[in-house]
């Protein structure tokens, strides 16, 4: 409900949307207000107006929420890397749980029989993967390295980032100084960050060759700050180590399962290694693999779930759309002595149908971990020989809800449990996990 006070429109915030914006209603429209929290009475200034909704900046706070806190980051509100630092960390998790439940009901018309307790860990310095933008700014006389600003194409002028690992966060302005000194500073648009357990890798995306002086400057930086540089000239497949060449390989571990996972800096891994360990543990517990079972791991990537399931003794088939990832997953299975019961194959999972699924044979259980687009073709392809149990790991509650609608209303499953995992604290990103079981006749 809205009210007028002088020239200001005042509204009460009802909830948060999937981008972390406050939702209110005024004059028959939905108003999305950046920086507003549930329960607050606020004024706003709209910068985007449509017939049914408006998007607005937060104006004045008449009644602040008990969930409101002072953002830790000095760049909050300018940098586009975070959108929820003004909200208590525990309240963020509760809000994400509500977003998950709202999506499941309003999109999928399903409700979980059990709401899983949320999974969360450290809230600062957690981010081990990042794609940083680079831009030389003539007016400032320097090169900026960081995330893009909240609105627009400019790179935020960051002195430090509170969610990157502390070592990488401290390097941001120093990397700017390094690139400012290079002959190709205007032909270096991006740095990919990959932090492993034994090495920190920075992949420089270069559009022109380095000069000899550039190469020496990069070597000096690597020696001084104990990082490894890779160079990428075109697509991700061109990324290769530059200096030092004797650095240990990138890897992360899953100690509960006795697994080490090497990876290349351009290959997908979770940004939050601590949360990944907890997520894998929860997924395997929900799946409950047994030695006599045959299990499919869809969108398996490097084998993040495949190998832990195999460690429990089941026969696992990891299916992935990328031939390069299939090869890497096979190598990881060999490295961890799991090749006997973890096999991998390449398939286009966005075009799979029931006939292709049948050719793979019977699976007792499945784990599905798709990208943001979800797994709609896969769930539609499930036929009469569908598994008794499915664990679905999602990075997009809307596509999870859409796929859950098919599983529950068309394929005969029950949504036994669902809950959030706070993989990205202080952002609006919602990671979740759901357990589906065949309904008993």
Which positions are catalytic?
A: 395
- Strands of 2-5's sheet, edge to edge? 2-5, 8-12, 41-49, 53-63, 29-34, 22-26, 15-16
CA distances from 102 to 106, 109, 255, 259, 280 (A): 6, 9, 35, 36, 25
Three-class SS state of 404: helix
Distance, C-alpha 165 to centroid of its chain:
16
Give the C-alpha separation, 337 to 294, whole Å.
Answer: 18
Q: Is 353 assigned a ligand-binding role in the annotation?
A: no
Per the structure block, which two tokens stand in for 35? Answer: 């920086």
**What is the spatial distance between Cα 58 and Cα 146, in angstroms, rounded to a whole number?**
25
60 has binding-site annotation? no
Q: How far apart are CA 253 and CA 272, in angstroms?
A: 12
**φ and ψ at 422, to 5 degrees?**
-80, 75
Torsion of the alpha carbons at 315, 279, 403 and 350, rounded to the nearest 10: -60
320 annotated binding-site participant: yes
What is the separation of C-alpha 332 from the centre of its chain, rounded to a whole number of angstroms?
22
What the block records as the tokens of 111 is 């409700």
Q: Please, which residues have CB within 8 angstroms of residue 246's CB and are 6 or more apart in sequence? A: none
Residue found under tokens 């497949």? 237
For residue 101, say whether it is annotated as part of any ligand binding site. Answer: no
Q: What number of helices (H) and strands (E) belong to the chain? A: 9, 23
- Please tell me whether 82 is known to bind a ligand: yes
| 300 annotated ligand-binding residue | no
Query: 272 a known binding residue?
Result: no
Decide: 183 and 211 in contact? Cβ < 8 Å.
yes
For residue 61, give the H/E element and its range. Answer: strand 53-63
What does the DSSP assignment read for 295-361?
EEEET-TTTTTHHHHHHTT-EEEEEES-HHHHHHHHHHHHHTT-TTTEEEEE--TTS--HHHHHHT-
Rounded Cα gap, residues 277 and 340, in angstroms: 23
CB neighbour class for 49 (10 Å; exposed up to 12, middle 13-18, buried from 19):
exposed
Handedness of CA 411, 417, 423, 427 (dihedral sign): positive
161 annotated among ligand-binding-site residues: yes
Output the known binding site for [4Fe-4S] cluster: 73, 79, 82, 161
Output the known binding site for S-adenosyl-L-methionine: 270, 299, 304, 320, 348, 369
Output the known binding site: 73, 79, 82, 161, 270, 299, 304, 320, 348, 369
């Amino acid at each position: 409900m809205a009210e007028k006070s002088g020239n200001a429109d005042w509204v009460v915030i009802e909830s948060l949307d999937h981008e972390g914006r406050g939702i209110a209603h005024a004059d028959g429209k939905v108003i999305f207000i950046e920086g507003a929290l549930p329960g607050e009475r606020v004024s706003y200034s709209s910068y985007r107006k449509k017939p049914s909704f408006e998007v607005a900046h937060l104006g004045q706070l008449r009644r602040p929420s008990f969930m409101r806190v002072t953002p830790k980051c000095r760049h909050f509100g300018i940098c586009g890397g975070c959108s929820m630092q003004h909200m208590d960390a525990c309240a963020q998790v509760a809000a994400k749980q509500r977003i998950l439940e709202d999506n499941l009901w309003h999109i999928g018309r399903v409700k979980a029989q059990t709401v899983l307790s949320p999974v969360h860990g450290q809230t600062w310095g957690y981010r081990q993967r990042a794609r940083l933008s680079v831009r030389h700014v003539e007016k400032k006389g320097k090169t900026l390295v960081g995330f893009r600003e909240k609105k627009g194409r400019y790179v935020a002028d960051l002195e430090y980032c509170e969610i990157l690992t502390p070592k990488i966060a401290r390097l941001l302005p120093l990397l700017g100084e390094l690139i400012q000194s290079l002959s190709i500073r205007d032909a270096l648009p991006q740095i990919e960050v990959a932090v492993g357990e034994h090495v920190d890798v920075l992949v420089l995306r270069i559009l022109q060759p380095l000069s000899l002086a550039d190469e020496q400057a990069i070597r000096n930086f690597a020696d001084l700050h104990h990082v490894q540089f890779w160079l990428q000239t075109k697509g991700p497949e061109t990324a290769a180590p530059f200096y030092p060449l004797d650095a240990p390989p990138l890897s992360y571990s899953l100690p509960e399962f006795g697994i080490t996972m090497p990876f290349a800096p351009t290959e997908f891994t979770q940004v939050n290694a601590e949360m990944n360990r907890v997520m894998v543990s929860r997924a395997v517990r929900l799946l409950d693999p047994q030695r006599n079972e045959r299990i499919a791991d869809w969108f398996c990537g490097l084998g993040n779930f495949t190998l832990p399931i195999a460690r429990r003794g089941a026969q696992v088939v990891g299916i992935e759309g990328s031939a390069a990832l299939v090869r890497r997953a096979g190598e990881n299975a060999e490295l961890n002595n799991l090749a006997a019961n973890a096999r991998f194959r390449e398939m286009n999972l966005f075009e799979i149908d029931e006939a292709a699924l049948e050719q793979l044979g019977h699976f007792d259980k499945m784990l599905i971990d798709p990208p943001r687009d979800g797994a709609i073709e896969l769930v539609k392809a499930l036929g009469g020989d569908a598994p008794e149990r499915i664990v679905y790991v999602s990075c997009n509650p809307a596509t999870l809800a859409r796929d859950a609608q098919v599983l529950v209303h068309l394929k005969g499953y029950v949504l036994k449990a669902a809950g959030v995992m706070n993989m990205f604290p202080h952002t609006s990103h919602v990671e979740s996990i759901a357990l589906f079981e065949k309904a008993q006749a």
